[in-house]
Amino acid sequence: MNITTPSKITVRKIPSSRINEVNFNSLQFGSVFSDHMFSCDFKEGRWQDPIIQPFGPLTISPAAKVFHYGQAVFEGMKAYKDDNGGIFLFRPEQNFKRINKSAKRMAIPEFPKELFFDALNEILQLDSEWIKPGIGNSLYIRPFVIATQAGVSASPSTEYKFMILLSPAQAYYTGDVKVVFSEHYSRAADGGVGFAKAAGNYGAQFYPTNLAREKGFQQVIWTDSHSHEFLEEAGTMNIFFRINDTLITAPTSDRILDGVTRKSVLKLAETLNIPTEVRRVKVSEIKEAHKNGTLMEIFGAGTAAVISPISTFGHGEKIFDLPVLEESYATMFKSKLMDIQYNRSEDPFGWRYRVL
């Protein structure tokens, strides 16, 4: 049965939910999808035919420009459920702004704000059972846009598809996270697309990350492509350094993603009177701080992992272990962020967005 809602989104419900087939206690991140998906097509110069329908395969030309020219952008968000069944997003307007910023850089038409939020609200209400309460549980939300026009000439597509997929999630990273500071490979160039959540930024990291994994590291901390002297970001996380009690992170730029978790940590730090420095961070400075015992913590910040404490970093052939702190910034920020996300604390900054 097709229903058209007041927001003009056609809704075609799944005949019966697949939710009972899913073991919510052993979820692999990003591999299971909820009952429904949202899509909307750009053609003839406008976004049209918004629809929520059962999750299922696309039919798409093998000549679609996304396959050949990587014209694709995405976002990562999460929906959280409190113990009363309330459903919340965390600063979704930031994701909305960023997907359009990414889209612009990739010559993709911007998506309308009202439809973005209508789509989120409607699909989350429809698939609300897929959001489990309890700290750590969430429904990962993947809005994305792909170029769908068939054509193997290197020019912008005239047709696009905007979609939202939903994937139930537990915690993203587990155990000690060991990272290596990149000395040869790079993630982004000045004047390039590093600030955007452009699909190709991620695939380009897989090979150097595989090389790092062979050496026992889970992630690469990317450095500037010119000198490899400055620490930038981890590819799926922004990076924070704590020297003594000061929290330091690199400024956003056209190479570094303007992370929502990153800016939330900075805001929290400000209200907690934690000294912060947003400035370029030298590899040599971090090694020196480790040597003299003032490097207290390194942690990543991103939607998937929220806060990801780093136990060890490598540079060259050397390995540097970080102290285990009883009261770390990482744990404190993670706890404060999740309390806001799960509606367990006040929300002084207006970051929560209630869906239901």
Residues 175-214 that bind a copy of itself (CB under 8 A): 182, 184-193, 198-207, 210
Pairwise CA distance, residues 273 & 66, whole Å: 46
Nearer to a copy of itself, 235 or 314 (CB): 235
Whether the CA torsion 230, 264, 100, 343 is positive or negative: it is positive
Subset of 278-317 contacting a copy of itself (CB under 8 A):
304
The one-character DSSP state at 215 is T
State the residue for tokens 């500037």. 224
Hey, what are 37's tokens? 């998906």
Among 172, 177, 171, 181, CA closest to 250? 181
Pairwise CA distance, residues 31 & 151, whole Å: 30
Residue 331 touching a copy of itself (CB under 8 A): no
Among 103, 308, 112, 117, CA closest to 195? 103
> CA 203 from chain center: how many Å?
15
Site map 255..274 versus a copy of itself, x via CB under 8 A:
--------------------
Considering only 9-17, 69-77, 118-126, 265-273, which stretch makes contact with a copy of itself by CB under 8 A? 69-77
Nearer to a copy of itself, 28 or 292 (CB): 28
- Please give the backbone phi and psi of residue 269, each rounded to the nearest 5 degrees, phi first: -60, -40
- Residue 281 CB, nearest approach to a copy of itself (Å): 19
Hey, what are 61's tokens? 């030309």
> Binder to a copy of itself among 16, 23, 153, 292 (CB under 8 A)?
153
Nearer to a copy of itself, 217 or 351 (CB): 217
> Binder to a copy of itself among 35, 50, 52, 65 (CB under 8 A)?
65
Residue 24 touching a copy of itself (CB under 8 A): no
Pairwise CA distance, residues 295 & 123, whole Å: 44
- Please give the backbone phi and psi of residue 271, each rounded to the nearest 5 degrees, phi first: -75, -20
- Residue 299 CB, nearest approach to a copy of itself (Å): 18
Residue 47 touching a copy of itself (CB under 8 A): no
Residue 60 touching a copy of itself (CB under 8 A): yes
Q: Which residues pair with 297 in a beta bridge?
A: 242
Residue 105 touching a copy of itself (CB under 8 A): yes
Q: In 3-state terms, what secondary structure has residue 201?
A: helix
Count of residues near a copy of itself by CB under 8 A? 71
Residue 69 touching a copy of itself (CB under 8 A): yes
> Binder to a copy of itself among 3, 107, 325, 356 (CB under 8 A)?
107
Nearer to a copy of itself, 42 or 69 (CB): 69
- Residue 307 CB, nearest approach to a copy of itself (Å): 18
